[in-house]
Chain A
Amino acid sequence: MVHREAFVAGLYFILMIVLALGAFIITRSSAARLAGTATIHSRPTYHGLLAAMQVFLPMLAILFFGSLLATRFVEQQSLAAMDPALLADELHRGAAYRDIRRFAAGGAVANATDGLKAGAATFAYLNTLTQWAIAGIGLSAGLAGLLFGLRTVTAEFRARNRFERIVAALLLACAGLAVLTTVGIVFSVLFETVHFFQKVSPVDFLFGTHWSPQQAIRADQGGASGSFGIAPLVVGTLLISTIAILVAGPIGLFAAIYMAEYASPKFRAWAKPILEILAGIPTVVLGFFAALTVAPVIREVGTALGLNVASESALAAGLVMGIMIVPFVSSLSDDVITAVPQSLRDGSLGMGATHSETIRRVVLPAALPGIVSAFMLAISRAVGETMIVVMAAGLAANLSFNPLDAVTTFTVQIKTILVGDQEFDSAKTLAAFALGFVLFFFTLTLNVIALAIVRKYREQYD
């Protein structure tokens, strides 16, 4: 059964490619023959490409939309035979439909009812039928496209222009898909966030100073209302990100200046890739480096100085995270500094400026927009980073500005909330969406600020 479905789909794909290729070759040669006798507007290849598109795109569209429609239709029809009482809500419908499919595929279903058997029969029948229907319609469309392509091979037909338009449309479709996906994710998170705010007041959420969602695991347990004040998370996130950018900002920027302005091409050729490898180290590895190497060192030093240091500290996580994001700052900054035109440097040096004066007064201001975006990218990475914080800074939601305390962040809490079995409707689970939304809002704000800075201080050069 499953094999047959895969077989039909595979066959369809192969036919689609074969037909498109065939359309290309046939139409091109037909156009080439025409070109031998008359001057034609478009080169034969464009006629071929256009014909191939006219075969390929309709077939793909029919497969995609046909399958969507068919799935809906088959589900509806198969469930029609079942007792409506069993299909009270979405969850039950889903379960019943799964049973039907399993039964139809010959699997065992405990106490199968007559309704279920009837449903399974309908399913098997309609499923096959729709599949063949889609395949049949698709193939006819493909053949029609081929014939149409052949018919349009005339001297004055503007195949090149039309093909260009199809390419533009395809590119637009891809761009649209990316944008739509983003919008979809934002809206689904927003939707659950609104849901959450029906259970917990936004004021408590945004301004509360106590975070402990753990009590409310199941409704029947005592003390079902957790507290959802995000202030400790905001402080923790800001604290760790600030430490990280204080580490990565200067190191990354100075490294970039050295690479772009002072380093010999040879040194640059091997140092730059090595620096970039740093960005590829899995954060889990950095996380246990932070927890097992950096944190103990910090604690020992702190204790020696008579300070009270938690075994997991914001400082350890921030330092290691800073090292992690150095390449984000340095690599991008290096690129923008290198892109500053040599003529500006010559102009400054020709005025009697030293190399470092030239960098400070001409090169860096000219590269500023790029450097700002490098920093913003790095900060976004730091804010979104989870693993290092989980391992090195702990889970304790302390409202503390002390870098030597254990703190927690947005991402860590989202992860903690969603690990393990959850009741989907509880305030605790929904809190993850609210946190995600705030986090998203935060990075969005960062990006907007960065854009504004870049606009304001952009120093145009050519």
Chain B
Amino acid sequence: MNSASILTAEAPNAAASAGLAPEPKVVARNVDVHYGEKHALKAVSVDIPARAVTAFIGPSGCGKSTFLRCINRMNDTISTCRVTGEITIDGQDIYDPRLDVVLLRARVGMVFQKPNPFPKTIYENVAYGPRLHGLASGKAELDEIVERSLRRASLWEEAKDRLGESGTGLSGGQQQRLCIARAIAVSPEVILMDEPCSALDPIATAKIEELIDELRTNFTIVIVTHSMQQAARVSQRTAFFHLGTLVEEGATDQIFTNPRDRRTQDYITGRFG
């Protein structure tokens, strides 16, 4: 508790010292999450910069997914979950009771750990969001959105001849890219990815990482990962979580070469315990 509050004071300094001076897209202040009696997240404060990739790392059960799900309020679907503190996106409080959570989730897309394409055709999977939010005024426009999203997710070449086939018939890596295409089809501002490569082989993983790097120019991306190498490869900022607290946050280079907290050091060198 004590160390967390010290660290939150330090976090902005760390950003400044890395020379990034990023404009924050998502700002969290003193976020606490309880699942019933369980205190899963303790006073987390962090700034997530726009148009950059932020990686969350930390041992299993430390609250990475929990925090990620706070950012698009997916925790609302868990009846025992209680969130306090403040999270803003572009200065707007997302836990404001007047805010429409449906619109929030259209702005903050999510890609899950296990690929979860809908049991519909590839086309319908990508068209799902645009249809829902009325983003296309006609068939032609919808076709265009679908093609653009699939191209951005680098799935177009593989899928263009089988748009009418079921999305669940794709391979695991293709399914995950389909889910990414589905998420970007509604042009969200922020994309949250919870261990998007954990079910994939190295080749598919490399494709997704490449994709994340490209998406960075247009979207703000937050990715949870268990792979240090992946965090180092794709992210510009890294946040280390431990036992429900945010231990350290800073430029990825700094976290991996020169961590300030002993726990971070132990974790990234694999000497944890």
Query: Which of A348, A352, A357, A462 contacts B118 (CB under 8 A)?
Result: A348
**Are A352 and B166 neighbours in the complex by a CB distance under 8 Å?**
no
In the assembled complex, A65 has its CB within 8 A of some CB on chain B: no
How far, in angstroms, from A106 to B117 measured CA to CA in the complex? 79
A372 and B241 CA atoms in complex are apart in Å by 47
Is B102 an interface position by the 8 A CB rule? yes
A365 contacts which chain B residues (CB < 8 A)?
Answer: 119-120
Interface majority SS (helix, strand, loop, mixed), chain A = helix
Q: Which of A346, A348, A461 contacts B168 (CB 8 A)?
A: A461
Q: Is B110 an interface residue (CB 8 A)?
A: yes
A352 CA to B72 CA, complexed, in Å: 9
Distance (Å) between the CB of B75 and the closest chain A CB? Answer: 11
Looking at the assembled complex, report how far the CB atom of A350 sits from the nearest CB atom of chain B, in whole angstroms. 4
Write the nearest CB–CB distance from A282 to chain B, whole angstroms. Answer: 39
- Answer yes or no: B267 CB below 8 A from chain A CBs: no
Check if A351 sits within 8 Å of B112, measured CB to CB.
Answer: no
Min Cβ gap B78→A in Å is 10
Contact: B114 with A352, CB < 8 Å?
no
| Cross-chain contact of A343 among B104, B116, B129, B182 (Cβ < 8 A) | B116
Q: Which of B72, B128, B133, B166 contacts A348 (CB 8 A)?
A: B128
User: Quick one: which of A347, A366, A462 contacts B112, CB cutoff 8 A?
Assistant: A347
Category for how many chain A residues contact B: 20 to 34
Q: Which of B23-55 contact A (CB under 8 A)?
A: none
Q: Contacts A351-B106, A461-B168; is A343 near B128 (CB within 8 Å)?
A: no
* B-chain residues with CB within 8 Å of residue A60 when the two chains form the complex: none
Distance of A344 Cα from B109 Cα, bound (Å): 15
Q: Does B1 contact A (CB under 8 A)?
A: no
Q: Is A164 an interface residue (CB 8 A)?
A: no
Tell me whether B6 is interfacial, beta carbon within 8 Å.
no
**Interface positions of A from 249 to 267, Cβ below 8 Å from B:** none
Residue from B103, B116, B119 within 8 A of A352 (CB atoms):
B103
Assess whether B129 is in contact with A351, with CB atoms less than 8 Å apart: yes
Known A343-B116, A349-B74; contact A462-B132, beta-carbon cutoff 8 A: no
Among B72, B77, B118, B120, max chain A CB count under 10 A is at B118
Cα distance A147–B193 when bound, in Å?
A: 68
Q: Is B179 an interface residue (CB 8 A)?
A: yes
Contact assessment for A352 and B74 in the assembled complex, using a CB-CB cutoff below 8 Å: no
- Are the CB atoms of B129 and A347 closer together than 8 Å? no
Total A-B pairs, Cβ < 8 A: 73
Q: How far is the CA of A351 from the CA of B149 in the complex (A)?
A: 14
| A352/B168 in contact, CB under 8 A | no
Name the A residues within 8 Å of B255 (CB-CB): none
The verdict on B186 contacting chain A, using a C-beta distance below 8 Å, is: yes
Structural contact, A347 and B166, CB atoms closer than 8 A: no
Of the listed residues B102, B169, B183, the one surrounded by the most CB atoms of chain A closer than 10 A to its CB is B102
A350 in contact with B168 given A343-B116, A365-B120, A461-B119 (CB within 8 Å)? no
Is B105 at the interface (CB under 8 A from chain A)? yes
Are A351 and B183 in contact (CB-based, < 8 A)?
yes
Inter-chain contacts of B110 with A (CB < 8 A): 346, 350
| Cross-chain contact A347 with B168 (CB below 8 angstroms) | no
If A350-B109, A354-B102, A461-B168 touch, whether A362 touches B132 (CB-CB below 8 Å) is: no
Query: Is A302's beta carbon under 8 Å from chain B?
Result: no
- Is the Cβ of B118 less than 8 Å from the Cβ of A346? no
Most buried by A among B110, B116, B183, B186: B116
Chain B residues whose CB sits within 8 angstroms of the CB of A343 once the complex forms:
112, 114, 116
New A-B pairs, 20, CB < 8 Å, besides A353-B102, A366-B119, A459-B166: A341-B116, A346-B77, A347-B179, A348-B118, A350-B74, A351-B105, A351-B106, A351-B109, A351-B128, A352-B105, A352-B106, A353-B132, A354-B102, A361-B132, A365-B119, A365-B120, A366-B118, A460-B119, A460-B169, A461-B168
The 4 closest A-B pairs by CB, nearest first: A459-B119, A352-B106, A352-B105, A350-B110
25 example contacts (A-B, Cβ-Cβ < 8 A) are as follows: A341-B116, A343-B116, A344-B118, A346-B74, A346-B112, A347-B182, A349-B74, A349-B105, A350-B105, A350-B109, A350-B110, A350-B183, A351-B105, A351-B128, A351-B132, A351-B182, A351-B186, A352-B102, A361-B132, A362-B118, A365-B120, A366-B118, A460-B166, A461-B119, A462-B168
